[in-house]
Amino acid sequence: MSPEGRLIVVSNRVNLPSGDGEESVGGLAMALAAALKAYSGLWFGWSGRTTETFTGELHAETVGGVTAATVDLEEVDLDEYYNGYANKTLWPLFHYRIDLAAFDRAFDKGYTRVNRRFAATLAPLIRPDDVIWVHDYHLIPLAKELRALGVKNRVGFFLHIPWPAHQVMINLPRHRQLVEAMFDYDLVGFQTAEHQQAFEEYVLNEADGEVVRPGCLKGFGRGLETGAFPIGIDAEDFARMTHSSRARRMRNLMIAATVFRHLIVGVDRLDYSKGLEERFLGFEHFLAQNPDLRREVLMLQIAPVSREAVEAYQEIRGRLDALSGRINGEFSDVDWAPFRYVNKNYRRDELAGIYGAARVGLVTPLRDGMNLVAKEFVAAQNPEDPGVLVLSRFAGAARQMGDALLVNPNSPEEVADALKRAIHMEKPERIRRWEALYDGVQREDVTAWRDAFVAALTAEPETARPAMAG
Ligand code: GDG
């Protein structure tokens, strides 16, 4: 990047860090806030508010050297672009839930309209030396719209969620149009090599494509650089938070609440991709199969509600309420209940304290681009007596976190067996596994992710770009 150039980050939502531990829930916001800390850059996106008629008027705010510039959208944009194409079409499809994906041309039109509006509002702010980094499935066609307005800067795209297998992707009406728009970027990054390969496979099959060399693809008669850039957490900041007084208070509270019992903890946005129903069934199976361990555990699931305007999210909430009631109804005693299911949102420092008190981190999404909770759990452990991470093999994080107990989240037996193994695991093995995991979480943190992506995006186009492991 030239010394005059700025990094412009574009994402649907913009969440400047408040610095007081009360940041919003969601992996992308967490990661970008951490990544932007080192750049006096610009963060552009939707304000989270609606207006009667779109004006493109910018709201600007600067916190800690980062300027946020946001625009309001119309109610219909929210319905068709955000709740519609992004969260009812692309999110379920990319997470292999074709059964939940809604295909509606009005959504498609709303998605194009909002991307065009974002491009028209952003373009006048761009200076010649700026580098633009666009995030996630809400904004796939943004580069195409920027190019149409004459923007020549380097523009990169990072997909936070999985890229699905070719046979899944082709269920999307007009999928070629969406993928062709990705060729207006200079670099497209994925969480893992597996997602990158799935993208390549699509291009080879549907766009007369060719892998020119690793990370360099031809398709639709054009060229594109791709790479795998596994996202990480701000490990240093998380470790610092773990030692804060609030975290310590929460940790002590949890230890007191679980006297003589092992705490099993799950923390997820309430989303069907996170495998919560299957996890609850796995815990139920564990209780049924291990009467001797029943009184030795307490499972705590924190699941703040998200995307409440989408029916599939309302439905899963109802099913989880019923399931958690059934488990406690079946296994509780007058003085004891095995399960706590909480829809409340906690501060990050409080979460750090809760993770730190847990013997097991149960992270079992059915599909996940990466999963930051797995990394946060590891970062919050006491090195002398660490807990065990049980992790779905279908989370992108499983590629880097082979020292966790990897499970198939669809199998209640596998989840139950892993819980039993984690509860019985001796300290030397827990320490050995944790050390290997923590080393990776520290090394492949959010700064390494940002630096690798920005370096690849700003490298001379002809030079081979190094791909990170993933
Ligand atoms: C997307 C991709 C990818 C959760 N509950 C509370 C809370 N959280 C925080 C967690 C974590 C974040 O939200 C969730 O991150 P994930 O990575 O687990 O999941 P998504 O939101 O689906 O994120 C994912 C990520 O983008 C980054 O690329 O890893 O695969 O789906 O940081 O701690 N935070 C607070 N209170 C809560 O109750 N404060």
Give the model's confidence band at 236: pLDDT under 50 very low, under 70 low, under 90 confident, else very high: confident
Q: Which atom of ligand 1 lies nearest, measured to the CA of 373?
A: 18
pLDDT reported for residue 5: 77
**Residue 466 belongs to some domain of the structure:** no
Distance 26 CA to ligand 1 centre (A): 4
Q: Does 423 have pLDDT greater than 50? A: yes
pLDDT reported for residue 41: 84
DSSP annotation string for 174-203: THHHHHHHHTTSSEEEESSHHHHHHHHHHH
**Residue 468 belongs to some domain of the structure:** no
Of the candidates 275, 282, 281, 284, the one whose C-alpha atom is nearest the C-alpha of residue 364 is 275
Distance 1 CA to ligand 1 centre (A): 29
What is the C-alpha R_g of the chain? 22
Distance 25 CA to ligand 1 centre (A): 6
Give the model's confidence band at 468: pLDDT under 50 very low, under 70 low, under 90 confident, else very high: very low
pLDDT reported for residue 64: 72
pLDDT reported for residue 461: 65
Q: Does 229 have pLDDT greater than 60? A: yes
On whether the CB atoms of residues 371 and 400 are closer than 8 A, the answer is no
Whether 208 and 243 map to the same domain: the answer is: no
Tens-digit pLDDT profile for residues 429-456: 999 999 999 999 999 999 999 999 999 9
Of the listed ranges 27-36, 236-245, 316-325, 353-362, the one predicted with least confidence: 27-36
| Number of domains into which the chain is organized | 2
Average pLDDT over residues 82-110: 97
Whether 22 and 155 map to the same domain: the answer is: yes
Q: What is the 8-class DSSP label of residue 272?
A: G
Share of the chain above pLDDT 70, in %: 93
Whether 287 and 227 map to the same domain: the answer is: no
Average pLDDT over residues 184-206: 98
**Residue 463 belongs to some domain of the structure:** no
Give the model's confidence band at 464: pLDDT under 50 very low, under 70 low, under 90 confident, else very high: very low
Whether 225 and 256 map to the same domain: the answer is: no
**Residue 348 belongs to some domain of the structure:** yes
pLDDT reported for residue 34: 67
Q: In which residue are the tokens 């997602």 written? A: 195
**Residue 171 belongs to some domain of the structure:** yes
Average pLDDT over residues 205-217: 96
For a ligand 1 pocket test, name from 15, 30, 32, 135 the mutation site with the most ligand atoms within 8 angstroms of its C-beta. Answer: 30
- The whole-angstrom separation of Cα 70 and Cα 48 is 9
- The whole-angstrom separation of Cα 184 and Cα 119 is 13
**Residue 467 belongs to some domain of the structure:** no
Share of the chain above pLDDT 90, in %: 84
Of the candidates 231, 411, 261, the one whose C-alpha atom is nearest the C-alpha of residue 333 is 261
pLDDT reported for residue 469: 42
Tens-digit pLDDT profile for residues 268-294: 999 999 999 999 999 999 999 999 999
CATH number at residue 119: 3.40.50.2000
Whether 195 and 260 map to the same domain: the answer is: no
pLDDT reported for residue 384: 97
Q: Which atom of ligand 1 lies nearest, measured to the CA of 397?
A: 29
Whether 368 is a known active-site residue: answer yes
Q: Which residues line ligand 1 (CB under 6 A)?
A: 23, 25-28, 30-31, 160-161, 231, 267, 269, 302, 304, 345-348, 351, 368-373, 376
Q: Does 373 have pLDDT greater than 90? A: yes
Going by alpha carbons, the residue nearest to atom 13 of ligand 1 is 26
Give the model's confidence band at 467: pLDDT under 50 very low, under 70 low, under 90 confident, else very high: very low
- In the Cβ-directed half-sphere of 168, how many Cα atoms lie within 13 Å? 20
Whether 77 and 139 map to the same domain: the answer is: yes
Average pLDDT, rounded, for the chain: 93
Measured in whole angstroms, the distance separating CA 28 from the mean position of its chain's CA atoms is 6
The dihedral region occupied by 96, where left means phi > 0, alpha psi between -120 and 50, and beta the remainder, is: left
Tens-digit pLDDT profile for residues 163-189: 999 999 999 999 999 999 999 999 999
Going by alpha carbons, the residue nearest to atom 34 of ligand 1 is 25
Torsion of CA 288, 294, 298, 304, to 10 degrees: 10
Give the model's confidence band at 413: pLDDT under 50 very low, under 70 low, under 90 confident, else very high: very high
Tens-digit pLDDT profile for residues 13-69: 998 766 555 555 566 676 777 667 677 689 999 999 999 999 999 999 987 778 899
Whether 365 and 279 map to the same domain: the answer is: yes
Q: Which atom of ligand 1 lies nearest, measured to the CA of 396?
A: 30
Of the listed ranges 150-154, 161-165, 309-313, 406-410, the one predicted with least confidence: 309-313
**Residue 153 belongs to some domain of the structure:** yes
Whether 43 and 20 map to the same domain: the answer is: yes
**Residue 66 belongs to some domain of the structure:** yes
Torsion of CA 399, 403, 405, 410, to 10 degrees: 0
Whether 206 and 242 map to the same domain: the answer is: no
Q: Which tokens sit at 22?
A: 């009360």
Distance 54 CA to ligand 1 centre (A): 30
Whether 277 and 347 map to the same domain: the answer is: yes
Whether 222 and 303 map to the same domain: the answer is: no
Distance 422 CA to ligand 1 centre (A): 24
Whether 16 and 61 map to the same domain: the answer is: yes
Range of the domain at 320: 235-443
Q: Given 95, 138, 160, 195, which residue is catalytic?
A: 160
pLDDT reported for residue 214: 93
On whether the CB atoms of residues 306 and 270 are closer than 8 A, the answer is yes
Q: Given 368, 403, 417, 445, which residue is catalytic?
A: 368
